[in-house]
Amino acid sequence: MALVHGVRFSLQRRGRAAVFALLLCAQATFGFSVAGQQENTCEANGSIYYVGEWYFLDSDHCTQCECTDEGSACARTECTSLPAACIHVSHYPTDCCPRCEKIGCEYRGIVYELGQNFQPSECEQCTCDSDGIARCLVADCAPPPCVNPVYQTGKCCPECKEGILWICVVPTAMLMHHAVKLFLLEILSGLIPAPSVVVMMARMLATGRETALPPVPASKTVHPSNRLPSKIDFLYS
């Protein structure tokens, strides 16, 4: 009976030794520990990564890691600044940094390329600068020298109708003074036909005293020799 028990114990001990040897062999060959856990791997994102593998964290797409013998070595990616002229930015769920889809200038709902010159209206001349800003020059139209100017298609400033030109001047006291003097001088010089009464009044205004004149026929004008020579310069007095 004792012999049977001795043989059974010996077999159990040999069996345990054989199993232990197999486990050691498996550990050396496949990298598993005795407890059954694989060595030289990294666990992240619910997955197993081998040494040398790179991966991004699901919780932060800007953090990239490498599986090493010491474990996961991670570093966060810094996003570069987008171009100043970027007018269309996209954010994708799997990307860390935003993407610039289009650069240029947007002016009144229209996109222009960098450096492009454009004319959004008849009075504007614009350029799309490198910073994405459209800078424009607006024409400054001078007042047209006429009444009721018209706007032509494709032109910025109004233009006068052909054959109708009127220069409107706001009268001033000095202008009216010289105009009256010029009118009197023309009457006295006979350049403007006038009745004798008007001529007499003109002489009175010009000389500052009453002057009697013989009647002048309506069919005739005062000859330039009959004007008052001494009063020619009164226009510039």
Q: What is the rounded distance in angstroms from the CA atom of residue 223 to the CA atom of residue 87? A: 82
Instruction: Locate 221 and state its tokens.
Output: 């004008």
At residue 49, does pLDDT exceed 90? yes
How much is the pLDDT for 174? 62
Region 216-226: mean pLDDT is 49
Give the chain's mean pLDDT.
72
How much is the pLDDT for 229? 45
At residue 4, does pLDDT exceed 50? no
Q: What is the rounded distance in angstroms from the CA atom of residue 182 to the CA atom of residue 87? A: 68
| Confidence tier at 128 by pLDDT (50, 70, 90) | very high
Q: Which stretch, 12-16, 42-46, 141-145, 218-222, has highest mean pLDDT?
A: 42-46
| Confidence tier at 211 by pLDDT (50, 70, 90) | very low
SS3 28: helix
Instruction: Locate 157 and state its tokens.
Output: 């400033």
Helix axes 173-188, 196-207, angle to 10 degrees: 130
| Confidence tier at 201 by pLDDT (50, 70, 90) | low
At residue 106, does pLDDT exceed 70? yes
| Confidence tier at 28 by pLDDT (50, 70, 90) | very low
Instruction: Locate 159 and state its tokens.
Output: 């233009």
Region 205-234: mean pLDDT is 49
At residue 97, does pLDDT exceed 70? yes
More confident residue, 50 or 163: 50
* Residue 56 contacts residue 63 (beta carbons within 8 Å): yes
